[in-house]
Chain A
Amino acid sequence: MFQPLLTKNFHYGRPASLKEYEAAGGYEGLRAALKMTPDDVIKAVIDSGLRGRGGAGFPTGRKWSLTDRKSPGQRYFIVNADEMEPGTFKDRFLMERDPHQVIEGLLISGYATDAGKGYIFIRYEYTEAARALETAVQEAKGAGFIGKNILGSGFSMEISVHRSAGRYECGEETALMNALEGKRANPRSKPPYPASKGFRMRPTTINNAETVADVPHIIKMGGSAWKTLAAYEGGAGTKLYGISGRVKNPGLFELPTGTPLKEIIETHGGGMQDGYSFKACLPGGASTPIITPNNLNVPMDFDTVSKIGSRMGTGCVTVFDDTCCIVRAMINNLLFFTRESCGWCTPCRDGLPFVYDILQRIEAGVAEMDELNVLDENCETIYSNSFCAFAPGAVDPVRSMLRLFKDEVEEHIKLKRCPCLN
């Protein structure tokens, strides 16, 4: 029987208090970690096979091992809780229901990377989550989990919650560091990498809130044991999967990593609402390429989804039903990306509006067939020639549309109207 880890305290329907959290085994991971060497903590995370839950899937243990832990001076660990990928609602739950789990994860992560200062960077709209975190930080401070010489280990760490003020680009790790420094959240060029010169030009490690929340469980169970929780050989641990759209039971589910997409939609999401049928989905946010019905058996994990030409992203699935026009869906996506572009590089700032315009012309029935080539050329060049991952993410679903829904797109042009509108 599958035992939930991340969501086991979610049943309160409110933030689990420190007492409740500890009663369920909370802060045992921290106690255990503080008895290990930082290198052993990193090794456990490497063994666990944990990969970044923010969407890129970079192996977490390896990221930590790259952090410059030798140079003297302050190091930072930042939790990226700037959840803003459209269709994604997993970190909100983690912070609203079990804030201590994130804090414990941050403390262990900070211990492993020798960071004396931790930040939780949270979007401003998450008022409840921010309150829950701030309360939890106070509780944890009172209990001696945060501060000087934590639990007599000699390790000290302070934690601050930073409430941002909007903008998707703040979620890009180098842009986030700029934002935290009180600068405009434009991405930085790499190198230097945050591992050596990040926040305040000091060694900095950044992980998604869910990634950090996994850490206490990995320490408690042992890396290898946690790894085996996955649904398939190549996977690791558990993962929060979300599902939204016209399914019977939209929501968030903690499942073994690599649970097939079909099972998430049909078993956990309850299948399509009556009168609607499945057309396609975005597997993990607005920047992940479309998946069509013939690929629904794919295990939801980074490599497996990449193999079928998409990306798992955040693992929060947005389902398109048969009433959704794919062109309009992409217009909606591009509206988001053109608006949120930080304005730093040309392909993103000026290329995305071009893509948006062509999509609108197609939808309005005024585009010519050869504009599809212009669209394709735009997408391909934006994809390969942008400063950060924002613009490639913006056009990736459009590229998949041109591959998978070419007929539907061409029909718009031939009929000179949207075929989905009667």
Chain B
Amino acid sequence: MPKLIIDGLEVEVPEGTNVLEAAKKLGIVIPHFCYHSAMGAVGACRLCAMKFVEGPVKGVQVSCMIKAQDGMVVETADPDAMRARRMVIEWLMTNHPHDCPVCDEGGMCLLQDYTIAGGHGIRRYKGKKRTYISQYLGEFIEQEMNRCIQCYRCHRFYRDYAGGDDFGTKRIANRTFFGRFKDGWLESEFAGNLADVCPTGVFTDKTYHFRARAWELETAPSVCPHCSLGCNLIPGAKLRELLVIKARENLKVNGWFICDRGRFGYRFASRPDRPRKFTLNGQEKSRDEATKAAVGIISDAVAKYGPGSVALAGSPRTSLENNFALKKLASLLNTGNICFSIDPLRDRKERRAISLLDAADSRSLQDVAFSDFIIVVGTDPVNEAPMLALMMRQASLKGARTAVIDPRPVKLPFDFTHIPARPEEFAEKLTGLLNEAAGDSKNPLIICGTNIPGIDAIDACSEAAGRLNCGLFYTLSSANSFGAAVLAGEGPDFEDILSGIESGGIRVLIALESDPLGRYSGEERASRALKKLDSLIVMDYLPTETVNAANALFPTAAYAEMDGIFINNEGRAQCFSRAYIPGIPVNYMGPKLKPPELHPPREFSPEVPGRSFPAWEYLGDIAREMGLDCCEMETLSAIRASLSHDPRFAAIAGLYPESEGALITAGPVDRLQAYGPFPAGEKPDAGEGLKPVDRLLLYATDLTFGTEEISVYSDKTQLRAPEPYVMINREDAKELGLNDGDWVKVASGSLGISCALKTSASCAKGAAFAPRLTGFDAAALSGKTIRITRERV
């Protein structure tokens, strides 16, 4: 660990740290543009000059390019160094358009900050400015090249860090341009990070274009709700409208970046059709009235049919506290009919997966980047957990080999070996791979999905990890799948609840941020069953089908609008904080709803119009109203205190926002005994003696855009959702006499869907895939043997 002196202060830093970072450690921040912690030093902008007085290097040098060494004495305020920095800023500003008043970056712009910090104030360049014509880069990212200072961060992020191949550096000298070959959408799933890495306003978030100034935003440290990885973010809202998401640094999870689903999927929060009112059978009610109505419903059912007639469905997408409050209510009501997912298959697999993770083999998302041999079993990282693909690329850049055992034609932003295999072959292929390859690696890692793989594959991954001292990393469905699964424990799943409803035993269902009518795989069954209920009580912030069917509706706060905890796929509990108070955005109360002269609204009231609250508050209200002992549900801190009495959740006691999170170990969650290794509906038809093409098995799959439950309510991310399709192996298609692009009917029994056919050479034979797109009930056919017939060419 070298020790050096910077501005008279001694600092010790790890070997390999550059002097710029060493100074940062002392709180001395020297302006810099091209250097970025994630992308390293390239010495292009020449801004971070310091004077090296003693030691192996002498004179004015750019500090990012010099590794800290013992005996160095460095002056940051040396006049020569300061002159160098001032001149660099002056040069960078010669062509800058000074359009800060109309620039979205204004107020959060490094160029603004460093122009001041660099000491450049008076313009001396009298020549003309160079100008560019910017490109259209799609609906996520806005480009204004005239603001560019050529720090090359965009290129280095997009091409080198993220592995995108449709963006680069064009032209030369002071005409250097960063863009695409031709206008068009940036293709990388990580393109949105350009808005964060660009130190000025060349690349900005188009969805936020001209909506707010940086200083008007209400922000808070938060955690992404759009997949199970738990990337850290900063939501920004203005006047009750969520407007922008920025990545937040967490060196145990996402590092510095997030994916485009996480960045642009936020627009569900301000949809005009978002539930904002408490209603009873469609009639608007006050919060009190709604609570009383719900209490009436529940009490009636309990009185008539006993406590078991009330069922509760929590959710992997809502906070740990909300789910815990639901569980508390269930136990106060003395009903055992509670589950935390409406996808029973996934639920069982996730409960199994988390019970297999322990501190020894569990790996963080960051750890993935330091693995040297990665085996992926039945997960498609870009589509199921996008940031995982980015971390795997970092491992690949360091020389890691990657093999993917998956029936889909998986795409990753780096070279890897794809082994097309059907799920029942996963365990066998995994063993084969481990035997031949894992021996010489120091940090091997097994990544396993929970959608396509069966329990046997999930078990095999854990077993292999334990045997070979490998890291283990399961991808789960949602932001709080882990937490939901721990709470679910050995309790029932939604299959049991549905049967209860169908048999008439269950008369009331409380759906907490879960959408059985829209998301249960087999909508018809759910819809038939739910019609049998006496009452449906729904708490949600999304305008779901279940919300529309609710007898009593409680509009809830979304993640950015409340404090809470998500537990990510690794078992890492992370706090998120309320960025703003939810209510109808002021923007929607002006000219859109009322005569323009009333904008902005002139009605003053201490009430927030359309205000919603975290679901745990409503659940507490109900318990209190029923006269139950609700002290453990009264406040968030009471809920957390109660949670942390469970030794598995003890770690959350010390949790605070902006921490790296706390690891939870689930312990045994042995729900499976009741089902055997292949739960009902999962074991494929044996089909002995049949050719693969004669027993095509369909899997409903997830995509980066268009299938994830929350972001499908965001208009911008939906722009990247594809049209429905089913995909099969090219040779299978040939045998069936089908061609790529044919319009086909996909059927199993009485169920059927129509869509376009896609074929791929790298798809496993005998497997078919259809994405879980909105309005396209691929899920209903999931796990079933299907027939594909042509409807038209």
Contact = CB atoms under 8 A, between A and B. Distances in A.
Which 3 residue pairs spanning A and B have beta carbons closest together? A357-B127, A343-B176, A350-B91
Given A345-B46, A385-B84, 20 more contacts: A167-B172, A338-B173, A343-B172, A343-B176, A345-B45, A346-B45, A346-B92, A349-B91, A349-B176, A350-B91, A350-B92, A350-B94, A351-B91, A353-B130, A353-B174, A354-B94, A354-B127, A356-B127, A357-B127, A384-B84
Interface in B48-77: 49, 59-60, 62, 65
Contacts, number: 92
A100 to B, nearest CB: 35
Nearest to B177: A343
22 contacts: A189-B43, A338-B173, A341-B174, A343-B173, A343-B176, A344-B152, A345-B46, A346-B44, A346-B47, A346-B150, A347-B46, A350-B92, A351-B87, A353-B127, A354-B90, A354-B91, A371-B124, A374-B124, A377-B83, A381-B87, A385-B60, A385-B88
Nearest to A341: B173
A189 B149 CA distance: 20
Given A351-B91, A385-B60, A343 B175 contact: yes
A124 interface: no
Nearest to A378: B87
Given A347-B46, A351-B91, A378-B87, A189 B65 contact: yes
Contacts of B42: 189
Q: Taking each of A189, A338, A343, which has the highest tally of chain B beta carbons within 10 Å of its own beta carbon?
A: A343
Interface string A337-367: 0111111111101110110110011000000
A345 B127 contact: no
B175 to A, nearest CB: 7
A347 B43 contact: no
Contact of B173 (A184, A340, A381): A340
Contacts of B83: 377, 381
A386 B46 contact: yes
B150 A343 contact: yes
Contact of A385 (B46, B92, B94, B175): B46
A353 B176 contact: no
A387 interface: yes
Interface of B: 42-47, 49, 59-60, 62, 65, 83-84, 87-88, 90-92, 94-95, 124-127, 130, 149-150, 152, 169, 171-176
Contacts of A354: 90-91, 94, 125, 127
Given A189-B42, A347-B91, A354-B91, A385 B49 contact: yes
A375 to B, nearest CB: 10
A343 B43 CA distance: 13
B165 to A, nearest CB: 14
A340 B127 CA distance: 19
Contacts of A338: 173-174
Interface in A185-204: 189
A350 B172 contact: no
Interface of A is mostly: helix
A341 B124 CA distance: 22
Nearest to A361: B126
A347 B91 CA distance: 7
Interface in A378-422: 378, 381, 384-387
A339 B175 CA distance: 9
B285 to A, nearest CB: 63
A193 to B, nearest CB: 14
Interface in A120-173: 167
A374 B91 CA distance: 12
Given A189-B42, A343-B150, A385-B60, A349 B173 contact: yes
A345 B84 contact: no
A378 B94 CA distance: 13
Interface in A326-344: 338-344
A349 B46 CA distance: 11
B132 to A, nearest CB: 13
B510 to A, nearest CB: 61
Q: Taking each of B46, B65, B149, which has the highest tally of chain A beta carbons within 10 Å of its own beta carbon?
A: B46
Contacts of B124: 371, 374
A167 B176 CA distance: 14
Interface string A263-280: 000000000000000000
A340 to B, nearest CB: 7
A167 B150 CA distance: 19
A387 B62 CA distance: 9
Contacts of B84: 381, 384-385
Nearest to B89: A346
A392 to B, nearest CB: 12
Given A189-B42, A384-B84, A357 B126 contact: yes
Nearest to A357: B127
Contacts of B49: 385
Contacts of A374: 124
A387 to B, nearest CB: 6
Contacts of B173: 338-343, 349
A16 B43 CA distance: 46
Contacts of B149: 346
Contact of B94 (A189, A353, A360): A353
B674 to A, nearest CB: 57
A341 B174 CA distance: 8
Given A351-B87, A353-B174, A381-B83, A346 B46 contact: yes
Given A342-B173, A349-B176, A350-B174, A387 B43 contact: yes
A342 B172 contact: yes
B125 to A, nearest CB: 5
A38 B83 CA distance: 48
A229 to B, nearest CB: 38
B88 A347 contact: yes
A356 to B, nearest CB: 8
Contacts of A384: 59-60, 84
B44 A345 contact: yes
Nearest to B81: A385
Contact of A345 (B43, B90, B94, B172): B43
Contacts of B175: 343
Contacts of B171: 343
Q: Taking each of A338, A351, A377, which has the highest tally of chain B beta carbons within 10 Å of its own beta carbon?
A: A351
Contacts of A387: 43-44, 46
Q: Taking each of A350, A371, A374, which has the highest tally of chain B beta carbons within 10 Å of its own beta carbon?
A: A350
Nearest to B128: A357
A338 B130 CA distance: 13
Contact of B172 (A341, A360, A381): A341
Nearest to A337: B173
Nearest to A169: B172
B156 to A, nearest CB: 12
Nearest to A350: B91
A300 B172 CA distance: 35
Nearest to B130: A353
A339 B176 CA distance: 11
A343 B45 CA distance: 10
A333 B484 CA distance: 70
Nearest to B124: A374
B670 to A, nearest CB: 52
A386 B47 CA distance: 10
Nearest to B87: A381
Contact of A350 (B65, B95, B126): B95
A377 B124 CA distance: 12
Nearest to A339: B173
A361 B126 CA distance: 9
Contacts of B127: 353-354, 356-357, 360
Contacts of A357: 125-127
A344 to B, nearest CB: 5
Q: Taking each of A339, A353, A374, which has the highest tally of chain B beta carbons within 10 Å of its own beta carbon?
A: A353
A286 B174 CA distance: 20
Contacts of A381: 83-84, 87-88
Contact of A346 (B60, B91, B125): B91
Nearest to B155: A184
A344 B155 CA distance: 12
